[in-house]
């Protein structure tokens, strides 16, 4: 999706808790083997302890508003995305976040598209903002806490380890005060039949964690791969990474190898997963530096893309006029790419 007029990104922030869960400890308690720890290449992961996921989103949102010099009263919508349990049953974390930051006039919306929820929320918020009267902000937040007893951040999945964080991105109506970044396009590709990789052979349960005491994506993936084999998913993933990157460039009016594209920001997966499934394809299609921001954070659930944008701003990666492609992917499966440009 290309926006006729780029949508401003007034600010983006990521809030990481001070606590850490170390790979060394995970190996010592025999949750993972030393070889697996080396393949993941995360020395440690942010651990929120008792801090609730929505409160991490509130912390990130407050920081984003501060960075932009914006008033929460001017936020017209709050789109909150998450992957894992938010702390209460039958409850809206989006409304909680809006209330806590003082966005009393905002429309709160929850997005539960698993790991790709952040990118989806950015796309939906930008579309709503672009269609509005140009007088407000749209806030995107994400937050996930991958703690016990229901989730083991080191063992729940193959090739991915999970870190806790809240993220926030503040979108600004086109034509308003210049913003540090511009959102030109969002490309998304989905393959719905791959939902079975996170369902496996399990029947539908009556409540959460009916089948197992802890979330075990390895079990459902094993069941899927026994039935369908590994080659099909590998080929589909390669095709979709290539397609979403190509579409993102095309929608933004760019070409492979365009010198204006400064970098591509990778999703925060394990190092071997990126080396096998992402780096070779993006190196060929994008032809720009590949940035891997996830060694110290792990996969942030729904927050990878927003955290990637926050890193670009915090580090001052882009010179005026330069572009970055920010990638994410999640169960379903869905792949997305945000195309952002530094104002100048």
Statement to judge: residues 165 and 198 lie in one domain: no
Query: Which among 321, 322, 320 is positioned nearest to 291, based on CA atoms?
Result: 322
- Map residue 244 onto helix, strand or coil: helix
Residue 214: CATH number of its domain: 3.40.47.10
Segment 264-307, tens digit of pLDDT: 999 999 999 999 999 999 999 999 999 999 999 999 999 999 99
Rg for the chain, CA atoms, rounded:
19
Statement to judge: residues 169 and 50 lie in one domain: yes
Statement to judge: residues 159 and 197 lie in one domain: no
Statement to judge: residues 307 and 215 lie in one domain: yes
Tokens of 338: 């945000």
pLDDT at 133: 58
pLDDT at 12: 98
Whether 101 shows a pLDDT value over 90: the answer reads: yes
Whether 11 shows a pLDDT value over 60: the answer reads: yes
pLDDT confidence bin for 135, thresholds 50/70/90? low
Helix intervals (H) in the chain: 23-28, 34-40, 53-68, 93-101, 117-131, 217-228, 231-251, 271-277, 279-285, 304-315
Statement to judge: residues 89 and 233 lie in one domain: no
Statement to judge: residues 209 and 98 lie in one domain: no
pLDDT confidence bin for 153, thresholds 50/70/90? very high
Segment 170-189, tens digit of pLDDT: 998 866 568 999 999 999 99
Torsion of CA 219, 277, 326, 185, to 10 degrees: -100
Statement to judge: residues 139 and 250 lie in one domain: no
Statement to judge: residues 12 and 71 lie in one domain: yes
Domain span at 119: 2-179
Q: What is the DSSP letter of 145?
A: -
Statement to judge: residues 335 and 276 lie in one domain: yes
Residue 3: exposed, middle, or buried by beta-carbon count in 10 A (0-12, 13-18, 19+)?
A: buried
pLDDT at 66: 97
pLDDT confidence bin for 15, thresholds 50/70/90? very high
Please tell me the least confidently modeled range out of 12-21, 39-48, 143-152, 199-208: 199-208
Choose one of 154, 179, 204: the last residue of a domain: 179
Statement to judge: residues 84 and 140 lie in one domain: yes
Helix, strand, coil fractions of the chain, as percent rounded to 5: 35, 25, 40
Number of structural domains found in the chain:
2
Return mean pLDDT, the chain. 94
Choose one of 179, 194, 218: the last residue of a domain: 179
Choose one of 179, 205, 221: the last residue of a domain: 179
Task: Give the phi and the psi of residue 160 in degrees, each rounded to 5.
Answer: -145, 135
pLDDT at 175: 63
Q: What pTM was computed for the model? A: 0.96
Statement to judge: residues 137 and 227 lie in one domain: no
Statement to judge: residues 202 and 109 lie in one domain: no
pLDDT at 132: 73
pLDDT at 48: 97
pLDDT at 84: 97
């Amino acid at each position: 999706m290309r926006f006729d007029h780029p949508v401003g990104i007034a600010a983006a922030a990521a809030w990481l808790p001070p606590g850490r869960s170390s790979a060394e400890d995970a190996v010592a308690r025999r949750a993972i083997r030393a070889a697996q720890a080396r393949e993941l290449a995360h020395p440690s992961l942010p651990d929120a302890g008792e801090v609730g996921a929505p409160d991490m989103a509130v912390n990130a949102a407050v920081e984003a508003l501060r960075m932009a010099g914006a008033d929460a009263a001017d936020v017209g919508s709050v789109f909150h995305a998450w992957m894992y349990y938010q702390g209460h049953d039958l409850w809206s974390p989006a409304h909680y976040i809006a209330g806590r930051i003082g966005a009393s006039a905002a429309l709160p919306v929850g997005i539960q598209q698993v790991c790709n929820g952040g990118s989806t929320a950015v796309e939906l918020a930008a579309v709503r903002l672009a269609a509005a009267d140009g007088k407000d902000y749209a806030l995107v937040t994400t937050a996930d806490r991958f703690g016990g007893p229901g989730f083991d951040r080191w063992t729940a999945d193959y090739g991915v380890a999970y870190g806790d964080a809240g993220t926030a991105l503040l979108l600004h109506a086109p034509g308003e005060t210049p913003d540090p970044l511009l959102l030109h396009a969002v490309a998304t590709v989905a393959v719905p039949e791959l939902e079975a990789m996170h369902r496996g052979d399990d029947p539908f349960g009556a409540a959460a964690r009916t089948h197992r005491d802890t979330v075990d994506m390895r079990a459902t993936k094993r069941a899927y791969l026994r039935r369908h084999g590994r080659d099909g998913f590998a080929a589909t993933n390669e095709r979709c990474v290539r397609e979403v990157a190509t579409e993102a460039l095309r929608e933004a009016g760019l070409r492979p190898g365009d010198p204006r594209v400064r970098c591509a920001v990778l999703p925060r997966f394990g190092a071997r997963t990126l080396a096998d499934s992402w780096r070779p394809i993006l190196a060929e299609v994008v032809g720009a530096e590949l940035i891997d921001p996830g060694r110290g954070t792990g996969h942030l659930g729904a927050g990878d893309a927003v955290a990637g944008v926050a890193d670009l701003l915090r580090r001052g990666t882009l010179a005026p006029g330069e572009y970055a492609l920010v990638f994410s992917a999640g169960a379903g499966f869905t792949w997305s790419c945000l195309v952002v440009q530094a104002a100048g």
